[in-house]
Structure 1
Amino acid sequence: MAMYAIGLSVLQEEISYEKTQVKQVAYADDLTGAGKISELRKWWDLVKKNGPTIGYTPNATKSILIVKPEHYENGVRLFSGNGVTVTKDGQRHLGAVVGTPEFKEKYVEEKVSEWVKEVGVLSGMAKTEPHAAYSAFTHDLQHRWSFVKRTIPGISRLLRPLEESIRKTFLPALLKTKIIIVENVRELLSLPPRLGGMGITSPEKLAEEEN
């Protein structure tokens, strides 16, 4: 990975902001740029020209141009025949999402639906193997929504179904109780073990803070 980064830095010298007016960042082989559509076209041409000489071959079919709705036709025109997909809605990006509020909401809702199912499976395990289920939740499962919370703003309300699943399904199964987990108990369980809790945090409450 370190050698790859050193190699890619050669390309980034050729497509730098000073030459293209495109703000950019690279993560492994994922190269991302942001700027005016006309400048992005120049940037894309430079990537195609200079990338292959250092072993970086851009794949147009996996490349997405996200534009504002009013610039959609201009984006299609400038990138016509390049194989690049042009969208005015949005696109998943490194586990987060870039796009319209509607696209963001749909993406998060789909992720929450998956996580709720996973919490349900873990709740079933907790009835017979509470310690294993607790370890799986705190060391693995609850970290799956950390990146989404940190990178996508304004999603606290979208995470409510997940919090409801944790409170009404997982915690009662883990604690072997049919008693409703009231607010003060839920807050106590959210604390780290060193403070008397269990470290089972609330995704809904932490979303804004972590973002």
Structure 2
Amino acid sequence: MAMYALGMSVLQDVIAFEKTKVKQVAYADDLSGAGKLQDLSHWWGLIQANGPIIGYTPNAAKSFLIVKPEHYDGAVNIFSGSGVVVTKEGQRHLGAVIGTEEYKKEYVGEKVSEWVHEVDVLSAMAKTEPHAAYAAYTHGLQHRWNFAMRTIPDISPLLRPLEESIKNTFIPALLRSPVPGNDARALLELPPRLGGMGITSPEKVAEVENLNSINLTRTLTDMIIAQDAQVEIDQV
């Protein structure tokens, strides 16, 4: 990763904010930029011209330009023939999502449906192998939705079907008991050291996870917004 970043720095010297007026950040080979349409067009042209020289070949078909509805027609015109996909709805980005509220709900809804299915599968296993199912849930499955909670704001209501699956299907199968009441469910959310089982409620912790993520990454976020590449050693 560090060596890849060094290689990418050569390209980023060419497409730097001072030269393109595009605020940008790269995570491995995922390069993202934000700015005015004409500036983004110039930035994309520089990437196409200079990227392949260092082995970075941009794929237009997998590149998305997300614009506000009022700028959609202009974006289609400016990027005509480039192969870049222009959208006013939104697009997945590094496991999170950028776009309208409707697109966010659709994206998270699809992920929740997938996670509910996985909880149902694990619940079936819990009927005969409760300890293995509990270990698989707490050490594996439970972390499947952490990234979404930390990077997508205001999704607590969208996670309700997942919490209902955990409460109404997984826990009864695991404990061979009826559906727990609210007090019992709250007790099971506590970590084992406090007498619980660490089976957290995604619906409850989503906003806290998102706020914690924002606070922990604030320094880096501010530097990206300011396009300040001078990172102090103790901040890395």
The bucket for the TM-score relative to the shorter chain is over 0.9
The CA deviation at 1:7 is: 0.3
| Structure 2 residue runs without a partner (length 5+) | 211-236
Partner of 2:158: 158
Partner of 2:193: 194
Partner of 1:121: 121
Counterparts of 1:168-207 in structure 2, within 5 Å, are 168-178=168-178, 180-207=179-206
2:198 aligned counterpart, secondary structure: coil
CA distance in 2, matches of 1:16, 1:186: 51
What is the CA deviation profile of residues 19-76 of structure 1, one whole-angstrom value per residue up to 9, with x for unaligned ones?
A: 1111111111111111111111111011111111111111111111010000000100
Partner of 2:63: 63
User: TM-score normalized by structure 1?
Assistant: 0.97
Counterparts of 1:135-154 in structure 2, within 5 Å, are 135-154=135-154
Partner of 2:234: none
User: TM-score normalized by structure 2?
Assistant: 0.87
The CA deviation at 1:5 is: 1.2
Identity %: 71
CA distance in 2, matches of 1:21, 1:183: 53
2:26 aligned counterpart, secondary structure: strand
| Structure 1 residue runs without a partner (length 5+) | none
Return structure 1 stretches of 4+ with deviation > 3 angstroms: none
What is the CA deviation profile of residues 184-210 of structure 1, one whole-angstrom value per residue up to 9, with x for unaligned ones?
A: 111111111111111111000011111
Query: Structure 2: which amino acid aligns with 1:4?
Result: Y
CA RMSD, 1 decimal = 0.8
CA distance in 1, matches of 2:60, 2:36: 19
Counterparts of 1:2-151 in structure 2, within 5 Å, are 2-151=2-151
CA distance in 2, matches of 1:143, 1:112: 13
Partner of 2:232: none
Query: Structure 2: which amino acid aligns with 1:40?
Result: L
CA distance in 2, matches of 1:193, 1:11: 49
